[in-house]
A and B are shown apart, each in its own frame.
Chain A
Amino acid sequence: MKNLLGADLLELRKNLLAKIMLIALVVLALFSVVLYFFIPKLLNTTDSLGDFELPQYNGELVTFAALSTGNNAGLLIPIAVLIFVAACFSNNTIRYKIASGRSRIKVFYGTIITASIYGTVLLVAFYIATFALSIIVLGYGSALNAQAIGRLFLALLIGVLLFIQNIALGTALCMVCHKLVLPLIITIVYSMGIGLVGSALYASTNATLINTMEYVSGYASAKLVLGDFDAALLLKTAISTIVFVAIVTIPCALAFRKQDIV
């Protein structure tokens, strides 16, 4: 497994497209921060919002918003990851993995792990870029002390787990379909859909529903983006990620094990 992962990560390291994606995410971070800076100012000076006034975003909120799975990097990162995963089928280099003496199950989960690592690296890069740029442009909004840093780190952990769910879904489908487009569409639709559901349910005050919904990625993502999270959400997200990844990947792994790859 070590060599399997090593080969994939080596391929990523040497792949110009992966580097371009990192740069693209930093540019997206800058663009997002600038938007957050200018849009409220612009809209608040017009009559388009009536008496409603948009809040002035600060670095803390904007940084948490970067972890949204339903827009911006939340869509771009799975696209980048799935392009990389699907390439092994379009290039036929999947043959080398299968011929390398490892079982199909190991090849499958090796790819899931590589995809998760790649997605995590992209997300962390985007997160750090957003944090750094938002501090400069918007200011943090509150004291940037040890507690704030802890919260930023906690948010990142929760965000990574949520992203891994989407990446695992897309990667598993790619491995079974041997193509890019359909798994990508399903992943994006799922991402946006579950995000909408979570956001819609966020307004609920039903305690039982809230407790249950925190295990659903869309709801957890809504809480995360709005800064309404704690260590308990991390634990629930970890559990939901393990369960979701198992539910999605096990049937796909079993299918991949018996598939003809042509």
Chain B
Amino acid sequence: MENIIEINKLDKKYGKSDLALDSFSITVKKGDIYGFVGENGAGKTTLIRILTGMAFPTAYEKAEMFGIDLRTSAATELIRISALIESPALYRNLNAYSNMLVRCKLLGYGKERIKAILDRLNLPTSDKDGKKARSYSLGMKQRLAIALALLPEADLYLLDEPINALDPEGILLVRNIISELRLNGKTILISSHILGELSKIATCYGFIHRGKMLEQIDANTINSKLLKNTAFSLSGTQAVIDSMRNAGITNCELRGNDLVFYGNLSLSSVIHVLDNIGVEVYGVNTSSPDLESYYFDLVRKNAGGAM
């Protein structure tokens, strides 16, 4: 399958600060819904800025989009991409229709699709609407930003936190739109902190931490690998983690008064340690595997210890 984005060992540094992207690699195949997961400041938005021509890489071994090197690709290639980057980019003194109209003019499009897109996102469709974008709620601004991102007939959609500030109806709508785009042969890269939502649509994932790609994995593989959580509710938490470490048990962390284990655990070893330190167990809970625990586990392994 054709690779839409192929990047190998890309560095990006802003001024004299640390590397925002550090020997970063990513491969996105055509038709993927690529879930891009990472903490705040991990480098997700930096990558999207580089791909949309808003920023330039410092150095790289390979960086291609649509098979063309980023250095040599013409600005005209950028019209194959549509992006929603961080906070909504809106013409604040114009209404929704006029926002779309200006973007249409910029792209050389006719205005035929404007009303249909606005209507789909439950936004005012009238050119005469007196309410300007600056007075929209956060949710409406986000919807308008999504509408603007959907206007171009792009091959690649880069959506940075697309469901921020959206109500449940809006979230479902975005999910459906993304699925339809994929059915139409488009490729979508979504960065989101709402991992539960991402897990419903992504076909593959990339986990980024402090500018480095930790792992790229397809959805089928991750679903088979997701670890079972076992949570012990404790009477006290003094020295619990240290005692576990001393006993060679490292796949655990404290969450309040719960001691949570990821993956396999030796129940007898755990109970033995807890007995020794005089902590009582009030309850034991196992929970379904999820993307969030997989991500935390990945970051923890990368950091070499418990978070």
Are A102 and B75 in touch, CB under 8 angstroms? yes
The answer to whether A260 and B54 touch (CB under 8 A), given A11-B94, A91-B92, is yes
Question: C-beta contact mask, B14-41 vs A, less than 8 Å → 1, else 0?
Answer: 1000000000000000000000000000
Are A3 and B106 in touch, CB under 8 angstroms? yes
Complex alpha-carbon distance, A261 and B91, angstroms: 18
CB contact list, B125-174 vs A, under 8 A: 132, 148
> Of all chain B residues, which has the CB nearest A99?
B78
Complex alpha-carbon distance, A116 and B194, angstroms: 45
Contacts of B277 in A (CB 8 A): none
Complex alpha-carbon distance, A100 and B89, angstroms: 14
Q: Of A14-22, A59-67, A138-146, A157-165, which stretch is located at the interface?
A: A14-22
- Picked from B76, B85, B105, B107, the residue with its CB within 8 Å of the CB of A95 is B85
Contacts of B98 in A (CB 8 A): 11, 14
- Picked from A17, A95, A100, A260, the residue with its CB within 8 Å of the CB of B93 is A17
Are A98 and B92 in touch, CB under 8 angstroms? no
Q: Does B101 interact with chain A (Cβ within 8 Å)? A: yes
Are B106 and A96 in touch, CB under 8 angstroms? yes
> Of all chain A residues, which has the CB nearest B55?
A260
Are A10 and B105 in touch, CB under 8 angstroms? yes
- Picked from A10, A258, A262, the residue with its CB within 8 Å of the CB of B14 is A262
Complex alpha-carbon distance, A100 and B107, angstroms: 6
Contacts of B52 in A (CB 8 A): 95, 98-99
Complex alpha-carbon distance, A17 and B94, angstroms: 10
Contacts of A95 in B (CB 8 A): 52, 54, 83, 85, 89
Contacts of A14 in B (CB 8 A): 93-94, 98, 101-102
CB contact list, B68-86 vs A, under 8 A: 75-79, 81-83, 85
Complex alpha-carbon distance, A185 and B92, angstroms: 24
Are A7 and B102 in touch, CB under 8 angstroms? yes
Are B105 and A6 in touch, CB under 8 angstroms? yes
Range, interface on chain A: 20 to 34
- Picked from B81, B107, B132, the residue with its CB within 8 Å of the CB of A3 is B107
Complex alpha-carbon distance, A96 and B98, angstroms: 14
Contacts of B54 in A (CB 8 A): 95, 98, 260-262
Q: Does A103 interact with chain B (Cβ within 8 Å)? A: yes
CB contact list, B166-203 vs A, under 8 A: none
Q: Does B49 interact with chain A (Cβ within 8 Å)? A: yes
The answer to whether A3 and B79 touch (CB under 8 A), given A14-B98, A17-B93, is no
Are A101 and B78 in touch, CB under 8 angstroms? yes
Complex alpha-carbon distance, A200 and B277, angstroms: 89
Complex alpha-carbon distance, A105 and B106, angstroms: 16
Are B79 and A10 in touch, CB under 8 angstroms? no
Q: Does B298 interact with chain A (Cβ within 8 Å)? A: no
The answer to whether A4 and B106 touch (CB under 8 A), given A14-B94, A92-B85, A95-B85, is yes
Complex alpha-carbon distance, A177 and B132, angstroms: 27
> Of all chain B residues, which has the CB nearest A261?
B54
Q: Does B108 interact with chain A (Cβ within 8 Å)? A: yes
Complex alpha-carbon distance, A91 and B82, angstroms: 17
Are A15 and B89 in touch, CB under 8 angstroms? no
The answer to whether A100 and B106 touch (CB under 8 A), given A17-B93, A95-B83, is yes
Complex alpha-carbon distance, A4 and B14, angstroms: 29
Q: Does A205 interact with chain B (Cβ within 8 Å)? A: no
> Of all chain A residues, which has the CB nearest B154?
A99
Contacts of B49 in A (CB 8 A): 260-262
CB contact list, A92-118 vs B, under 8 A: 92-93, 95-104
Are A260 and B56 in touch, CB under 8 angstroms? yes
The answer to whether A100 and B90 touch (CB under 8 A), given A7-B105, A92-B85, is no
- Picked from A10, A15, A102, A262, the residue with its CB within 8 Å of the CB of B55 is A262
Are A104 and B75 in touch, CB under 8 angstroms? yes
* Residue among B91, B107, B108, B132 with max Cβ neighbours from chain A (10 Å): B91
Are B103 and A96 in touch, CB under 8 angstroms? yes
Q: Does A246 interact with chain B (Cβ within 8 Å)? A: no
> Of all chain A residues, which has the CB nearest B101?
A10
Q: Can you add 14 more A-B contacts, CB < 8 Å, to A10-B101, A98-B75?
A: A3-B105, A11-B94, A11-B102, A16-B93, A91-B89, A95-B85, A97-B106, A99-B52, A100-B79, A100-B107, A101-B77, A102-B75, A104-B75, A261-B55
- Interface residues of chain A, those whose CB is within 8 Å of chain B, are 3-4, 6-7, 10-11, 14-17, 87, 91-93, 95-104, 258, 260-262
**Cβ contacts A to B, 14 pairs, < 8 Å:** A3-B106, A4-B106, A6-B105, A7-B102, A14-B94, A16-B93, A95-B52, A96-B89, A97-B106, A99-B78, A100-B78, A260-B55, A261-B55, A262-B49
A-B residue pairs, 5 tightest by C-beta? A92-B89, A101-B79, A7-B105, A7-B106, A260-B55
- Interface residues of chain B, those whose CB is within 8 Å of chain A, are 14, 49, 52-56, 75-79, 81-83, 85, 87-94, 98, 101-103, 105-108, 132, 148
